[in-house]
């Protein structure tokens, strides 16, 4: 079984397609592309079973066996009475099992939500939390995300791919499709990316939740996104968007190049193992 991570598909959402400047002509092209991209990375086998038809004759049919799992961290789908497409119909076209966590657009869309958050080990990284919101959001307070940890999230779309919550010493990784070329993220790819970012954080990120037999203490540099204001702000009863100081702009191209080189090595290793 392979595990994948993603967020913010917003299927059937015309506003997200337009405002997010997604490269699709309409919502149907967007829906089709996101599902196709997911199916290209997941594995599904078929088992032949025999059933009886209305006349009592045995009929052989193929039943899909979904072996892989996609963790979708919120904002999966927008229900539209115009199309009346049910979430189960969409899920039936995806080659893998899909575990849905709740996002802010999942309140009344008829999606069957498993939970608001999960905790799991991802490779050498222990007790990694998963939820829709980053760690510094007001909505994440009830999750009790531990200090000195890694948090996988969505919600922020193209704002960043990673953000360092200096207040809690938490590294946030955004797995939303808008920053991953509209594709799901494999577990191995996520491990490679987390390792890459941790090697460049300019703070004493404590590695107590990391299996040190697999990873050395990380070298830390100045590539951070530091929260400027963690307090809840209100304007006429509405919370203002929090502002952040972006500290990776100067070396963004250098980091991207280094990451692509690391990812290429991982992919070559996967091919060799096969």
- 68 Ramachandran zone, left/alpha/beta (phi>0; psi -120 to 50): beta
* Cα–Cα distance measured from residue 234 to residue 217, given in angstroms and rounded to the nearest whole number: 40
Q: Quote the pLDDT of residue 32.
A: 95
Q: How far is CA 207 from the centre of its chain?
A: 23
Q: Quote the pLDDT of residue 184.
A: 96
Q: What are phi and psi of 270, to 5 degrees?
A: -65, -45
* Cα–Cα distance measured from residue 145 to residue 162, given in angstroms and rounded to the nearest whole number: 16
133: which DSSP letter? S
Crossing angle of helices 187-198 and 252-273, rounded to 10°:
140
Q: Quote the pLDDT of residue 258.
A: 60
For residue 151, give the nearest of 167, 130, 133 by alpha carbon.
130
| Sequential pLDDT tens for the chain (274 residues) | 899 999 999 999 999 999 999 999 999 999 999 999 999 998 777 666 677 777 777 777 666 677 899 999 999 988 776 777 777 888 888 988 999 998 888 776 677 777 889 999 999 999 999 999 998 888 887 887 888 889 999 999 998 899 888 778 889 999 999 999 999 999 999 999 998 888 877 544 433 333 322 222 222 233 343 444 433 333 433 333 333 333 333 344 455 556 556 666 655 554 444 3
Please say whether the beta carbons of 4 and 96 come within 8 A. yes
* Cα–Cα distance measured from residue 10 to residue 21, given in angstroms and rounded to the nearest whole number: 13
* Cα–Cα distance measured from residue 255 to residue 199, given in angstroms and rounded to the nearest whole number: 11
| Domains of the chain, each with CATH number or no CATH | 3-273 (3.60.21.10)
Calculated CA dihedral for residues 270, 272, 273, 274, nearest 10 degrees: 90
Q: Quote the pLDDT of residue 203.
A: 42
Q: Quote the pLDDT of residue 147.
A: 81
């Amino acid at each position: 079984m392979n595990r994948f991570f993603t967020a913010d598909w917003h299927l059937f959402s015309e506003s997200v397609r337009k405002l997010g400047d997604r490269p699709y002509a309409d919502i149907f092209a967007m829906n089709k592309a996101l599902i196709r991209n997911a199916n290209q990375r997941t594995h599904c086998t078929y088992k032949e079973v025999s059933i009886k038809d209305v006349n009592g004759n045995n009929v052989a049919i193929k039943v899909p066996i979904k072996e892989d799992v996609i963790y979708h961290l919120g904002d999966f789908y927008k229900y539209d009475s115009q199309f009346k497409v049910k979430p189960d119909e969409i899920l039936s076209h995806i080659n893998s099992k899909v575990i849905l966590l709740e996002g802010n657009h999942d309140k009344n869309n008829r999606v069957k939500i498993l939970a608001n958050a999960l905790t799991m080990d991802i490779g050498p990284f222990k007790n990694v939390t998963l939820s829709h919101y980053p760690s510094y959001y007001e909505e994440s307070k009830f999750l009790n995300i531990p200090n000195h940890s890694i948090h996988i999230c969505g919600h922020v779309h193209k704002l960043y791919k990673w953000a360092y919550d200096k207040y809690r010493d938490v590294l946030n990784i955004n797995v939303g499709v808008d920053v991953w070329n509209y594709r799901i993220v494999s577990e191995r790819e996520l491990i490679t990316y987390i390792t890459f970012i941790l090697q460049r954080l300019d703070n004493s990120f404590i590695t107590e939740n990391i299996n040190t037999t697999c990873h050395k203490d990380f070298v830390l540099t100045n590539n951070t996104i530091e929260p400027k204001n963690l307090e809840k702000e209100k304007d006429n009863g509405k919370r203002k968007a929090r502002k952040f100081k972006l500290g990776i702009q100067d070396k963004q191209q250098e980091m991207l190049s280094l990451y692509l080189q690391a990812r290429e090595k991982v992919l070559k290793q996967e091919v060799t193992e096969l």
